Amino acid sequence: MGTQSDPALDAFFAATGAEIITSDEPRAYFHPVKDIIHMPPIATFFEASRYYGVLGHETVHWDFGPKRLDTQKVNCNKRAYAFNELVAEIGACFLGVQLGVQPDFDQSAAYVKSWLRALKDDKDLIFKAAAEAQKAVDHINAVVSGVSSKRSEAA
């Protein structure tokens, strides 16, 4: 038996409005041109928390896409790409804590450290990234709350 999904977490991510495609392709990513999130099947993850952590990361990328906050560019230089990855990982940690998903802090720390190395010239960058991550999480929560209240009014 593989890793099992969590209906409450699935409902949260569905309520964002993000189109989440699952296939056997082993990579998780946000495709800005198609405006989709791709995820491998949850059963391919050793733990559900890792799956939802990765989905949170990709959802933060999605939220900065052209139809929402529109701050991440499709074609950008290495520095901007590194900053986008840093923001997405911090945002995923914020979402994980909020949703009760145990973040893989060792993995996140290694990931953040690798991107900080690419951005070492700006000592305030971590604070800028955290502020952008919080902006995304606040926006995601606002969208989910709006969808949830509309659904409950219709019931």
User: pTM score, two decimals?
Assistant: 0.81
pLDDT at 147 over 60: no
Average pLDDT over residues 131-146: 92
CA dihedral for 39, 99, 135, 18, sign (positive or negative): positive
Q: Torsions phi, psi of 19, nearest 5?
A: -85, 115
- Domain regions of the chain by residue span: 7-135
Quick one: pLDDT at residue 155? 39
Structure tokens at 148: 């949830």
pLDDT at 72 over 70: no
pLDDT at 23 over 90: yes
**Whole-number percent of the chain with pLDDT over 70:** 77
